[in-house]
Amino acid sequence: MIDRIAALIKDSGLTQGDFGRRTGIEASKLSKSLGGSRRFTSLEIARIAQESGTTVDWILTGAEDELSAAARTGADDTSPGKALARARELVTMRADLRQFGVGRDWTLAQVGTPQGRLWVEQGTYLAESASRLMPGVEATQDLAMLIEASFNIDVAIQDIDGLDGLAAATQSARLIMVSPTPNFTRQRFTLMHELAHLLASDDQKMHQDANVMAKGGEGEVRANAFAAAMLMPEAALRDRADAGLDEAGFCQLSWDLMVSPRALSWRLFNLGLITEEHRSQWHSLTTEACATRLSRQSEYLDRSARSAQTRVPALLFADAWSAYEQGLTTLRPVANLLGVSSADLREKLADLELG
């Protein structure tokens, strides 16, 4: 580690004294640390990484985790460059916090390895296992919060260059990113789809220098089956179907589960709960049309407005703030998550203290 810090100082073009002043490390302390008679503190390492444009992980280990990502999109010409760059920022932040002992381990392993010969069967198996860790998912409006609480996976809702969603993983981090959209049913399905990629430990050879836009493949079939089973549980659908489903009841079921009529019609048909005639008839309904039929227009607008909002990864924010309060790192990670400069955030915090 000392050799790497010394190399960073040399590459900076600054004198040792100037580098110390830039990073807030007294000259005598920096000299002793470089000489091996004093250990660098966590905060000093964070400041050195910040000044040098590198990561705490690299300073401590000399290596950085490879980023694997799987993306979901409805467009053929979407470029994922900026989205992957942001994913790299967030997983690097998580990795650095883990180096300081901040953060909780994810619970993905509790779901187990996908079982079944067919990819649909594997997706269904994953859903059965995952539902035990996050019961009631089909009735939960804030899926991002539920995923974080159930699996300790970071979830961000922000613009990702036209992608619907992206799942990113390194050895030290797991991240889901989805786009803000008024189409809340699509966003919910995408969240579950990306969760499936992480639960299945999918590595579809989709790295920063590869094609993350490949739509085919077994992982996609499995992820879609998982999302359908999680959001539209078979037991719940059978209960409603046994009571009898007409178009009004179908709309009510679509509304209650917060899934699109299109997705629900196919799920019911594949489970043998409705006829092809009903599937074809209800397939063309829209969520808005169902909301209107149920006199839920205001709730429809509210759901759409909420899903169109951006969301900072709450777990990552809480851990970054905790690390800052403990003096383990600088304010920059918190400011980065909020999309403001460290100086502006420090000024706002000072105003709050004075107020």
Question: pLDDT higher for 138 or 186?
Answer: 186
**Res. 213: pLDDT tops 80:** no
- Is the separation of the CB atoms in 205 and 70 below 8 Å? no
Query: For residue range 43-73, what is the model confidence (pLDDT) as tens digits?
Result: 888 788 877 777 777 777 776 666 666 666 6
Radius of gyration of the chain (CA): 24
- SS3 at position 311: strand
Q: Which two tokens stand for residue 5?
A: 């810090």
Say what the pLDDT of residue 208 is: 34
Per the document, the length of the chain is: 355
Could you tell me which of 191, 194, 154, 175 has the C-alpha nearest to residue 71? 194
Strands, E assignment, the chain: 68-72, 154-157, 165-169, 174-178
Contact 87, 166 (CB under 8 A): yes
Residue with tokens 């990073």: 23
Sign (positive/negative) of CA torsion 59, 103, 190, 300?
negative
What is the arithmetic mean of pLDDT over 175-192?
95
pTM of the model: 0.83
Token pair for 217? 């493949």
The 10s digit of each residue's pLDDT in 286-343 is 999 999 999 999 999 999 999 999 999 999 999 999 999 999 988 989 999 999 988 8
Of 320, 233, 220, the residue nearest 268 (C-alpha): 233
Binned at pLDDT 50, 70 and 90, residue 163 comes out as confident
Q: Which among 263, 239, 122 has a CA at the least distance from the CA of 187?
A: 263
Q: Which amino acid is at 269?
A: F
List the domains of the chain with CATH numbers.
Answer: 1-64 (1.10.260.40), 68-231 (1.10.10.2910), 234-307 (no CATH)
How many C-alpha atoms does 202 have within 13 Å on its Cβ side? 29
